[in-house]
């Protein structure tokens, strides 16, 4: 699948199909163990969904994301439901499958947009915005699904649902505002501790809400949302993703293994029909709504085709429906076929969306010139990045500010990042060995990177990544000893500072050029204190 430029989600499903009863039948002996690990996968998947639920993104792009998101949900659910009813599906199966088909894959869309460097483009920002709207609606649907059908009367179920919503809003609001910030201020200082805390928080909050009567899935989402508003959510997400991916692999392999050869002839045609509906219907409705909102044909088309696949959330929804006995048929198998076809097809369409639009330009030209215009917002770019603010970096920042060079600081100390942001200095909290974090920075546009990081291994990974994406950039490194000096130069460093050599040079200049008098030492002590004081106000006059 990697050779075919496809998301590995398809590989997991196909591996499950091959390992399942349709072919090799390898998963019989460890069934219960696999099921438990798959449950872990669901919890971690929904935790990351909640963690990535950026409500501020919707505020920034206004009503457009809400209108397009809700329009697409209503259209796909309604038409999908009628289509399934026409194909003689029972009511409950039709409504579950229609809802599962509604949601596009946030994980796949964000990953492919990031690879294309389109996350900050007009169509990229609004597509991600409508994904956020979809996620919010999906959470609400999950709550409804897990609250109804428990033997109570309708009004009791509605009252219970409303009560649960208020409890969850209060829980998330209190923890996100009062509990999480105080905990993370201490935890974020250690990457290892941050990882352990994240796992504990995820399963602890999910278990607590499960004990209070909520579903485990809702508990996982709420655990993620409560951490999502913290300034460290990107670092948390990047650290948890490898573990999530491990369990998700097992989850989707188990799903693939449940494909039955006896049913394939009966459900294949249904899967193809629903896939065509998603591949054509979603782009059509989104293109139409974006055009109504005065978006250009290009941006409307690119947004529409980006959402032309089903989501991993659909699997979770159908599994919940199956566990609650709302559905008992071949819905999961049908949805697996739809996922394979739509994800496979849309991945190529997203990758080559510009070429597809250029190919269709003659068709769009039949409707006359495009009367709408939009300007792309420019990505924030910095001429210099200073990695590590503490001992050496603050002095470098002072020099950059004096020369009116636009710079940003990257640091793994949450207190340093907080202090820098309070002075309006662009600062990013993250681990420089985390490739996903580095991809969020505009390092490929910078002219110079100055690293004060003392760890050789971290700089080696960093320099190789930077040099791979920017051949012309100047890279300045830092070492405390010369053991790995040649390795850093081979990795792409232009120059590596060695603080003991620089310190030795400084004191030798003092010996050669200054008199050894008490006044000289008094002046040096005074200058030293002034320098240390300057450290805490460094960069205040940074040019915005």
Are the C-beta atoms of 102 and 278 separated by less than 8 Å?
no
The verdict on residue 525 lying in a domain is: yes
User: 301 with 345, same domain?
Assistant: yes
Q: Which secondary structure element, helix H or strand E, spans residue 40, and what is its range? A: helix 31-51
Q: Same domain, yes or no, for 446 and 356? A: no
Q: Is residue 25 very low, low, confident or very high in pLDDT (cuts 50, 70, 90)?
A: confident
Q: b vs e for 131-160, b when ≥16 Cβ sit within 10 Å of the residue's Cβ? A: bbbbbbbbbebbbebbbeeeeeeeeebeee
All residues at 6 or more sequence positions from 250 whose CB lies less than 8 Å from its CB, including other chains: 34, 37, 38, 41
* 132 in the same domain as 58: yes
Q: What is the CATH number of the domain that holds 272?
A: 1.20.1530.20
**480 plus 520 within the same structural domain:** yes
CATH number reported for the structural domain that contains residue 449 in this entry:
3.40.50.720
Cβ contacts of residue 233 below 8 Å, gap of 6+? 51, 52, 227
- Among candidate residues 302, 326, 361, the one where a domain is terminated: 361
Does any domain span residue 421?
A: yes
Q: Is residue 481 part of a domain?
A: yes
Residues 287 and 411 in one domain: no
Residue 131 belongs to some domain of the structure = yes
How confident is the model over 151-170, as a mean pLDDT?
Answer: 70
Asked if 134 and 20 sit in the same domain, the reply is: yes
- Token representation of residue 257: 């293994």
Q: What is the pLDDT of residue 152?
A: 54
Report the distance separating Cα 143 and Cα 220, nearest Å: 12
Range of the domain at 146: 8-152+253-361
Element at 135 (helix H, strand E): helix 122-147
Span 37-58, pLDDT tens digits: 777 877 887 888 778 766 665 5
User: Are 416 and 516 within one domain?
Assistant: yes
Mean pLDDT, residues 322-345 taken together:
86
- Does 495 lie in the same domain as 413? yes
Same structural domain, 394 and 332: no
Residue 216 domain flag: no
> Is there a single domain that holds both residue 525 and residue 473?
yes
pLDDT category at 399 given cuts 50, 70, 90 is confident
Burial 483-498 (b: 16+ CB within 10 A, else e): ebeebbeebbbeebbe
Chosen domain end from 316, 346, 361: 361
Residues 321 and 405 in one domain: no
- CA-nearest of 340, 327, 275, 265 to 8 is 340
- Predicted confidence at residue 543, as pLDDT, reads 42
Q: So what's the pLDDT on residue 541?
A: 42
Question: Residue 59: its pLDDT value, please?
Answer: 64
Average pLDDT over residues 207-216: 81
Q: Is residue 276 scored above 90 in pLDDT?
A: yes
| pLDDT attached to residue 75 | 93
Let me know whether 46 and 112 are in one domain: yes
Pairing of the two strands 474-479 and 495-498: parallel
Q: Which residues contact 132 (CB under 8 A, 6 or more apart)?
A: 53, 54, 55, 57, 58, 65, 69
pLDDT of residue 262: 64
Instruction: Establish if 51 belongs to a structural domain.
Output: yes
**How many domains does one find in the chain?**
2
Task: Please check whether residue 220 lies inside any domain of the structure.
Answer: no
Domain membership flag for residue 190: no
Question: Per-residue pLDDT tens for 238-275?
Answer: 778 788 888 878 878 887 777 766 677 778 899 999 99
């Amino acid at each position: 699948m990697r050779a075919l430029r496809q998301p590995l989600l398809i590989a997991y499903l196909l591996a499950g199909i091959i390992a399942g009863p349709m072919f090799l039948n390898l998963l019989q002996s460890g069934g219960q163990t696999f099921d438990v690990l798959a449950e872990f996968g669901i919890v971690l998947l929904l935790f990351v969904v909640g963690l990535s639920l950026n409500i501020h993104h919707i505020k920034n792009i206004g009503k457009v994301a809400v209108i397009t998101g809700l329009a697409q949900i209503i259209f796909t659910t309604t038409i999908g439901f009628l289509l399934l009813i026409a194909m003689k599906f029972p009511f409950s199966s039709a409504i579950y499958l229609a809802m599962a088909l509604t949601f596009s894959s946030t994980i796949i869309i964000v990953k492919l947009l990031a690879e294309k460097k389109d996350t900050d483009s007009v169509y990229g920002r609004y597509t991600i915005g409508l994904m956020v709207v979809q996620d919010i609606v999906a959470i609400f649907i999950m709550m409804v699904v897990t609250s109804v059908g428990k033997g109570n009367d309708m009004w009791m179920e509605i009252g219970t649902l409303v009560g649960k919503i208020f409890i969850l809003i209060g829980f998330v609001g209190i923890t996100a505002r009062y509990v999480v910030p105080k905990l993370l201020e201490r935890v974020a200082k250690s990457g290892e501790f941050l990882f352990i805390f994240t796992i504990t928080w995820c399963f602890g909050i999910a278990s607590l809400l499960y004990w209070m009567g909520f579903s485990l899935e809702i508990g996982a989402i709420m655990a993620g949302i409560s951490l999502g508003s913290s300034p460290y959510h990107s670092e948390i997400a990047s650290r948890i993703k490898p573990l999530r991916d491990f369990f998700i692999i097992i989850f989707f392999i188990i799903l693939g293994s449940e494909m039955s050869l006896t049913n394939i002839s009966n459900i294949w045609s249904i899967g193809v029909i629903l896939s065509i509906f998603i591949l054509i219907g979603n782009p059509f409705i989104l293109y139409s709504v974006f055009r109504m909102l005065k978006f250009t044909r290009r941006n409307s088309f690119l947004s529409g085709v980006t959402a032309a696949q089903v989501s991993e959330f659909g699997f979770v929804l159908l599994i919940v429906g199956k566990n609650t006995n709302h559905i008992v048929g071949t819905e999961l198998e049908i949805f697996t076929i739809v996922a394979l076809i739509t994800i496979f097809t849309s991945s190529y369409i997203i990758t080559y969306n510009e070429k597809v639009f250029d190919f269709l330009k003659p068709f769009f030209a039949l409707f006359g010139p495009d009367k709408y215009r939009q300007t792309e917002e420019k990505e924030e770019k910095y001429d210099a990045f200073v990695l590590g603010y503490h001992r050496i970096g603050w002095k470098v920042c002072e020099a950059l500010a004096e020369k009116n060079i636009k710079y940003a600081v990257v640091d793994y100390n949450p207190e340093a990042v907080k202090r820098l942001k309070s002075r309006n200095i662009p600062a990013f909290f993250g681990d420089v060995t985390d490739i996903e974090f580095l991809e969020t920075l505009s390092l490929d546009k910078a002219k110079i990177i100055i690293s004060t990081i003392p760890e050789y291994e971290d700089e080696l990974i960093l320099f190789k990544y930077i040099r791979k994406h920017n051949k012309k950039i100047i890279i300045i490194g830092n070492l405390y000893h010369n053991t790995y000096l040649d390795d850093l130069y081979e990795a792409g460093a232009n120059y590596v500072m060695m603080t003991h050599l620089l310190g030795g040079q400084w004191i030798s200049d003092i010996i050669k050029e200054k008199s050894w008098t008490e006044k000289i030492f008094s002046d040096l002590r005074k200058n030293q204190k002034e320098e240390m004081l300057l450290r805490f106000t460094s960069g205040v006059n940074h040019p915005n």
